Structure 1
Amino acid sequence: MIRPEDRENFTGLVREYRKQLDQASWPFRGRYNLTAFLPADPVQIDRGFQVKQVFRDLTFATTQGYDYHGAWDPVTNQQSAIDGPAGDPSTAEFSSQVTIDAYLERGAPRNKLVMGVPFYSRGWTGVTNQNNGLFQPATGPAPATYEAGYEDYRLLKAKAAAFTVHRDEKAGFAWLFDGTTFWTWDDPIEMKRKARYISDRKLGGAMIWSLDGDTANGELISALHRNLR
């Protein structure tokens, strides 16, 4: 439950952390970093944070750039699109563009704003075989290794040959579909796309959830690194 005073209280908490960290760093050279992980939904941003004031005391903040949709939704959808896709049946748009714009409009400095990217997929099964599985009803979360509806990239890649890859080049996301099971798909091509978006908008960088989802040879982190400028 969010109370009206929580916005000001969080600002005060961050200010106190900054003050004490600065005191702890003296007389050493440098300054301790203070960071925060912040939500994607503009409604939650406005309920919980005084963005401009908070960013004054943060070294940087990471935004949630994933879980825009998942198997908790009754129909399939993207989980980390750069922009809102055409035909999305959702009542509110969730995308990285919406999130980044929300923080910038509320006073966050570009160079302190770090965009989250996923090294995992969200999946549904029992999906209606129409529109390549996108925006279709599903019976539930797709079976997976650790948690239904959630699979690391490295594990899903081993099964990807059984699926067809589909991409929305305009909205900036991809998915896998085999006629009944649907997985979001953040592969090296999508990581390159995200890295270029981050660079083009002059943001502070990328945050990953999480490194252990990558392949042994680091396909995803390499794609990010090569394309961040």
Structure 2
Amino acid sequence: MIAYYAGDATAFRPYPTQKLTHIIYSFLHLKGTSFAFDKPQDQATVAALVALKAQHPQLKVLLSLGGWGGCETCSEVFATYQGRMAFAASVKEVLTATRTDGIDLDWEYPAVAGPPGHRFTPEDRHNFTLLVQALRTTLGNRYEISFAAGGFREYLQHAVEWPAVMPLVDRVHLMSYDLVNGYSTTTGHHTPLYSTPQQVPSVDDGVRFLDSVGVAPGKVVIGAAFYARVFRGVPNRQQGLQQAGTFKQAVNYRDFADSLSAARGFAFYWDEVAQAPYAYSAQRQEFATFDDAQSLQLKTRYARKKQLGGIMFWELTGDKPQGSLLKSLYQAAQ
């Protein structure tokens, strides 16, 4: 049960962190060839997370590199032996100094297009393997190494040398969200459990691909979303599903009662094929795609049935205080 966390030194306090196995602080970035905090208060946040381990001995705190828009120089730095080794040495220094438990690589993306303007080359694929090898050699087995993987086929097929990488890492975190995203021009489910005739990318599609290339199920962690993606200019057909639209904004689950309210015209629906909820407001011509308690319970049961490594989600503070969605995940996992 893995939470990504992008809050400050106090925002996690209302949430039931005792239900988590991992918190991944997001994000650190490259400063030259070094793994570095952006500002001093980020180190204070990590110290506060590490302090939770005194109360919850099972908890591990990892530090994440990159994120969307946060790995602009990754392709260049990790293209050389010197860059990879300098980075790996700096990771060990940071993990030792912060008393954290490992690194999560969120390079978006090796070898395939990520944020506009970010360099990507075919060589990134093998360089990612070499990066993971450098990290494991430098860190030994004391620290965990995981990485976030795009949940779409172009990434899965072209970004990672799966047979070479997976024996060296503890987990792959399948980003089975944002499958409909800010660049999409047709509405759909951004984090569906199953594919539909209109939309192939899904949790199940990603898991099936990883199984087909020999990734051990126990190292696969599937993703859930504690936020909605809202599209505007969506015509009133099929409750807005699979219609033309323009991305408007992301809305955290904790704000659904206001942003996706009946007063704004939103009605909620369920796609039996995708096993995913959605909402549409005819008066505003807006469509929303998200996870809810039911879809999270189904994802958790799926992970148990497939004997996967677990579930991760973006992002802890998107939940309602006291952890409504986190509790749904936890209860379904028991």
Q: What band does the TM-score fall into relative to the shorter chain?
A: 0.7 to 0.9
Aligned residue pair count: 211
CA distance in 1, matches of 2:194, 2:233: 27
Identity of aligned residues (%): 27
Q: CA deviation at 1:217?
A: 2.0
Offset, 1:212:
0.7
Partner of 1:146: none
Q: Which has the higher contact order (CA 8 A, sep 6+)?
A: 1
> Are positions 1:45 and 2:156 aligned together?
yes
* Structure 2 residue aligned with 1:141: 247
3-state SS of paired residue (1:55): helix
Q: CA deviation at 1:45?
A: 2.4
SS of corresponding position for 2:148: strand
CA contact (8 A) 1:172 1:190 kept: yes
Amino acid at match of 2:234: V
Which of residues 301, 311, 315 in structure 2 aligns to 1:206?
Answer: 311
2: distance between equivalents of 1:48 and 1:135?
A: 28
Counterpart CA distance in 1 for 2:124 and 2:243 is: 38
Q: Which residue pairs with 1:100 in the alignment?
A: 207
Q: Which residue of the partner structure matches residue 127 of structure 2?
A: 9
- Counterpart residue number, 2:276: 173
Report Cα offsets for 1:4-51 as digits up to 9, x if no partner: 3332222122112111111xx6xxxxx211111111122222222111
AA in 1 matched with 2:156: I
Q: SS at 1:158's partner residue?
A: helix
| Structure 2 counterpart of 1:186, from 273, 291, 301 | 291
Task: Note the residue ranges of structure 1 that are not aligned, 5 or more in a row.
Answer: 26-30, 143-148
Pick aligned residue for 1:123 from 215, 222, 230 = 230
Equivalent-residue separation in structure 1 for 2:181 and 2:138 (angstroms) = 39
Q: CA deviation at 1:130?
A: 1.0
Shift of the alpha carbon at 1:2?
A: 3.8
Partner of 2:267: 164
Preserved contact between residue 67 and residue 79 of structure 1 (Cα < 8 Å): yes
Aligned to 1:167, the other structure's residue is in SS state strand
Q: Which residue of 1 aligns with 2:179?
A: 68
Alpha-carbon distance between aligned partners in 2 of 1:72 and 1:16, rounded to the nearest angstrom: 34
| C-alpha contact 2:195 2:273 (8 A) present in aligned 1 | no
State the AA in 2 paired with 1:212: T
Residue pair 2:225, 2:290 contacting (<8 A) in 1 also: no
The TM-score normalised by the length of structure 2 is 0.60
Report what 2:19 is aligned to.
Answer: none
Query: What one-letter code is carried by the residue in structure 2 that aligns with 1:131?
Result: Q
What is the SS of the residue equivalent to 1:170? coil
Unaligned ranges ≥5, structure 2: 1-118
Q: Distance in 2 between matches of 1:105 and 1:12?
A: 23
> What amino acid is aligned across from residue 277 of structure 2 in structure 1?
A
Distance 2:154 2:260 in 1: 36
Q: How far, CA to CA, are the matches of 2:300 and 2:286 in structure 1? A: 28
**Maintained 8 Å contact 2:191/2:290:** no
CA distance in 2, matches of 1:17, 1:36: 12
Q: What residue number does 2:254 align with?
A: 154
8 Å CA contact 1:120–1:151 kept in 2: the answer is yes
Q: CA deviation at 1:118?
A: 0.5
Which amino acid in 2 is paired with 1:173?
A
From the superposition, tell whether residues 70 and 13 of structure 1 become closer, same or farther in structure 2 (CA, over 3 Å).
closer
The structure in which a higher percent of residues are strand is: 2
CA contact (8 A) 2:179 2:191 kept: yes
